[in-house]
Amino acid sequence: MTKTKSRRGDIESKPLIVVKGGLFFLLGCMSAGLLLSSILSFRNAFLLGLTIWSFCRAYYFAFYVIEHYIDGSFHYSGLIDFAKHWISRLK
């Protein structure tokens, strides 16, 4: 089986993928820190954590659960493609 090249120029270097993930984590920590530093309270920290956790679970559901438990033919390249597919199914 031959490997096809994506039109988007996907990253194939494993160290670069790890660096990219680390940068996303760093960006998230910095933005959460800046957000909480302006309005620090237990309630705001809890709600920010709950929001992040909820969106992570929704992302996991959209890509892993649907593909592995509902229908293996569903393969999406992003959340916009996922939304387009489900909107078209509702029509």
Q: What is the pLDDT of residues 48-88, one digit of tens each?
A: 899 999 998 988 887 777 777 777 777 777 778 878 877 88
Q: DSSP of the chain, one letter per residue? A: -PPPPPTT-----HHHHHHHHHHHHHHHHHHHHHHHHHS--HHHHHHHHHHHHHHHHHHHIIIIIIIIII-TT---SSHHHHHHHHHHHH-
Q: How far is residue 91's CA from residue 72's CA, in Å, rounded to a whole number?
A: 22
Q: What is the pLDDT of residues 8-46, one digit of tens each?
A: 677 788 899 899 989 999 998 998 888 888 888 888 889
Cut 0.75: pTM above it:
no
